[in-house]
Structure 1
């Protein structure tokens, strides 16, 4: 009789713990199965750097089965990006990512999403103000600074640099272009022996527009020593214009981005003298969003480092 009582008592005592264990297992399973929908407004899918950007972001999302990533192509239009962002807000995405064509034109809708309680991650190019969750991107001032120091060194060094210089601008409406200019001129602007030729023309980050611009500049100023373009496609477009004029061997070209199938290859081939890596921020964006949704605190701003690519090390950056 005592033995039976002990068995019954043990069973009664065990029952709550067994139920608790079942509840914990159920809660864990539900947490593990939590699905997140992420919306990404990408300015364009045509530029090679943007293609790599999307590729890296998709690869990171694929590592997380609970993440459904939706990428909207802005078609290089601010109005289309605004519409895509409005759509993501309506769908109540768990997180929204945006890489804006221009800062001012996409500040309003970014703020709207943020105030709606949706985590908003601004990638690559900033918006105005601070109504967003986090900014992730390369440090464009640092990239420009490194390019400027390299150019001054190649033209004779600090205090002795001499030569004719042309800058090829990306986009006047994007902060990245202004930052790369400012960084470069921290060094170049201090050298009275460096003569800046040409006018400021918005080449919109495009190879063909840079080609046309450089072709015009070379007609008036065939004696050019160095060209700094705000990205590699424009640097390569400038090189092609010089090549068509038979002047490519007299000019050195520096760009930025350093993609393994693009800038790194052009340096290895000798078309560009150097480029500086502008890392894509999409993969880090996915990781940061998951941290936030998992209850972790995240920083307001993450700046990704750069590296210089030159003839001496280009091979290690070229895609195999």
Structure 2
């Protein structure tokens, strides 16, 4: 993709570390033949998370000095906490973590730091500024881009009208709140836009979004646009509308993730109107861990770029990824 196709994102993130924090007494000296890097993944139940793991595993093949240990929190905060405690016991040189919930993982992250293990947080932050680095997309900026596009689809600034169904991701996750806030920064300026639901959480899952949309369709005769906080939920809403025979009436369904074999494919088929790339931070996270272990300077925050994906560029993306 050409660089100009990517949307510009802010260089700071709410709640992210603004300075590089290193545990007291930590040094990058190698203690064994290989560096042991632990990665605590919160779940592999979501396709984006599966891709996340594939990306970090692919990067590990390029890092012969790294022994990468990956754990799966199985979508349970208590399991992820136990995983991190196990990685601490293993004395990993660096801990990479993508938390299920910000508050629920803060304590064990602090425990790792107290054990002189630097922590790089990926995608969802934790409630401490003692982390070494945060890597992820700017969810507020992506939400704003989605809101701006929704206003355009519904008639344009000052003219937009329509009934909107918003399906949240996990209510305890910062990305869901950021995607909501960014979206409403644009749509709330339009008096003609009506929001039909009050903070309905699909927990990032397609089947839960299907059920939310089924109820919304039953209770509302007119729905013009669906904003799903990720592509599977947007697609779940589409399937519910299709099963109810109303998919042709609901012209605009937006999502976020932009995986080629999911969101991009659904956009190409006209099932979603648009999606926004939400790149996984796995590969970059491991590269940054290696830089740290080599004694190189890190940035406190790395913000990954996004881009709008519509029918205009979906097929080109599919071709690039060997799907056409």
State the Cα distance separating 1:34 from its structure 2 match.
4.3
Q: Which has the higher contact order (CA 8 A, sep 6+)?
A: 2
State the Cα distance separating 1:46 from its structure 2 match.
2.0
Aligned to 2:127: 128
- 1:196-216 CA-partner distances (Å, limit 9, x unpaired): 112222211000000000000
CA distance, structure 2, for counterparts of residue 148 and residue 272 of structure 1: 15
State the Cα distance separating 1:222 from its structure 2 match.
2.6
CA distance, structure 2, for counterparts of residue 143 and residue 247 of structure 1: 28
Question: Contact between 1:114 and 1:133, CA under 8 Å: does it hold in 2?
Answer: no
CA distance, structure 2, for counterparts of residue 41 and residue 261 of structure 1: 25
Aligned to 1:97: 96
Aligned to 1:157: 156
Q: Is 1:119 aligned to 2:118, yes or no?
A: yes
SS at match of 1:256: strand
CA RMSD for the aligned pairs?
Answer: 1.3
Query: What does 1:54-133 correspond to in 2, within 5 Å?
Result: 54-133=53-132
Aligned to 1:178: 177
Query: What does 1:192-211 correspond to in 2, within 5 Å?
Result: 192-211=191-210
CA distance, structure 1, for counterparts of residue 170 and residue 317 of structure 2: 27
Aligned to 2:258: 258
Q: Is 1:300 aligned to 2:300, yes or no?
A: yes
CA distance, structure 2, for counterparts of residue 286 and residue 307 of structure 1: 23
Aligned to 1:230: 229
Residues 113-122 or 232-241, more deviating: 113-122
Consecutive unaligned residues in structure 1, runs of 5 or more? 1-29
CA distance, structure 1, for counterparts of residue 227 and residue 317 of structure 2: 20
State the Cα distance separating 1:116 from its structure 2 match.
1.4
Consecutive unaligned residues in structure 2, runs of 5 or more? 1-28
SS at match of 2:200: coil
State the Cα distance separating 1:83 from its structure 2 match.
0.3
Question: Contact between 1:256 and 1:278, CA under 8 Å: does it hold in 2?
Answer: yes
CA distance, structure 2, for counterparts of residue 232 and residue 291 of structure 1: 33
**Structure whose CA Rg is larger:** 1
State the Cα distance separating 1:301 from its structure 2 match.
1.1
Question: Contact between 1:121 and 1:132, CA under 8 Å: does it hold in 2?
Answer: yes
State the Cα distance separating 1:124 from its structure 2 match.
0.6
**Under a length normalisation based on structure 2, what TM-score does the superposition of the two structures give?**
0.88
**Under a length normalisation based on structure 1, what TM-score does the superposition of the two structures give?**
0.89
Q: Is 1:169 aligned to 2:177, yes or no?
A: no
Query: What does 1:258-277 correspond to in 2, within 5 Å?
Result: 258-277=258-277
Q: Is 1:239 aligned to 2:243, yes or no?
A: no
- 1:98-155 CA-partner distances (Å, limit 9, x unpaired): 1111000000101111121111111011111212111100110011010000000111
Aligned to 1:285: 285
Question: Contact between 2:166 and 2:200, CA under 8 Å: does it hold in 1?
Answer: no
